[in-house]
Amino acid sequence: MHNILAGKNILLGICGGIAAYKAADLVRRLKERGADVRVVLTHGGSEFITPLTLQALSGHPVGESLLDPAAEAAMGHIELARWADLILVAPATADVIAKIAHGHADDLLTTCILACAAPLAIAPAMNQQMYKNIATQSNLATLISRKINVFGPAAGEQACGDVGMGRMLEPLQLVDAVINLFEKPKPLKGLRFCITAGPTREAIDPVRYISNHSSGKMGYALAQAAAELGADVTLISGPVQLKTPLGVTRIDVISAQDMFEAVMLHAPQHGIFIGCAAVADFRMAQLATQKMKKTAEEDGLTLKLVKNPDIIASVAALTSNRPFTVGFAAETEQVDSYAKQKLAKKNLDLICANDVSDPAVGFNSDDNAMTVYSKNAEYPLGRRSKTELASALISLIVEHYHETKH
């Protein structure tokens, strides 16, 4: 696997974020696997790591200025762009992501990116609130639509003290992602999946919420299976304790309304939509602004709930850019009957039904078993691990997707 990078020319762009300190190890790891690495350091990046360190590790002078006569006389920005087999921006700040999305070329790195015909990959790294900002999400969606590779980010504790999405992937994870780019073409390359996973949480008051037992394991297994076969995958996830699969773009949401908005923004940009999340059917009619207190006079509590938007039906009802739509039916009785009704009522292309009353294959288990229904057939997929089941299910979905295109 290490030989895949032998002789590959990788132009590493380092931007101004605290994760820049990891770039030194990233250069070393790429070179260990045979890659030739040249570094372009933005002005902000040079505040976090020195050119001398990166020159010593890469064995090449570090590019910093677009208008440096000495650099342009040697390997200028056009030559750098022609030299590269891949440009990897790690860390990629919110600012540089915005510049790339809008075609700016006001420094050496962004100019090289515009002038380069080779693949581009970015590893986002920023504060969790900056990552969640609608402008950043829109810019990332733009890059993904242009087939730009987005590695991560990961969730966890950040240098600023926040906890959430926005950490840059670790150097070895980025090396693996780069290796995957240079491997032989995979069968699903060019296919784009949008997958929902996990539960939603519907707030009752600032302290309490309504949710369900979904672990997200099945949706994450599907995202991983599709990504490993070369597909571009956007994973829209409710609150779960799972790592983002390598090569998958993850968007975190909390409530059904959050998930609905994210899905309606991203699903039309994808060929296949899989609604695997266990979305709450109802939410509070009115959210309490303060914690609801129990009183000695009341022995009960009545909550008024209203319906949440039907995400899967809304995707299936799209009249423009409708993806091939796959739903899930997690039932406790009459699984076959309810699944077929849902397939027809919501105008789905396929539906995957399982009996969650069986603890061996229900919520939070590592195994699953299901039957997949189309309008004219059914396909029993017996009990197996969710990872194995995900691979079989992705193959079945892709087969039916291609049939609709002929």
- Which residues carry out catalysis? 160
E-strand stretches of 42-132: 86-92, 120-124
Tokens found for residue 329: 């039916």
Instruction: Write down the residue that tokens 């303060």 correspond to.
Output: 290
CA 370 to chain centre: 25
Q: Which residues contact 226 (CB under 8 A, 6 or more apart)?
A: 188, 191, 193, 195, 233, 394
Instruction: Write down the residue that tokens 């519907």 correspond to.
Output: 202
CB atoms within 10 A of CB 372: 20
Element (H, E) at 154: strand 154-157
* First-to-final CA distance of the chain: 37
Structural Rg of the chain based on CA atoms: 23
DSSP state of 295: -
Secondary structure (DSSP) of 204-264: SSSS-EE-----SHHHHHHHHHHHHTT-EEEEEE-S-S-PPPTTEEEEE--SHHHHHHHHH
CB atoms within 10 A of CB 91: 30
DSSP state of 199: B
Which amino acid is present at 281? D
Burial of residue 3 (number of CB atoms within 10 Å: 0-12, 13-18, 19+):
exposed
Which amino acid is present at 56? A
CB atoms within 10 A of CB 275: 30
Distance (Å, rounded) from C-alpha 114 to C-alpha 100?
8
Instruction: Assess whether the previous peptide bond of 153 is cis (omega < 30° from 0).
Output: yes
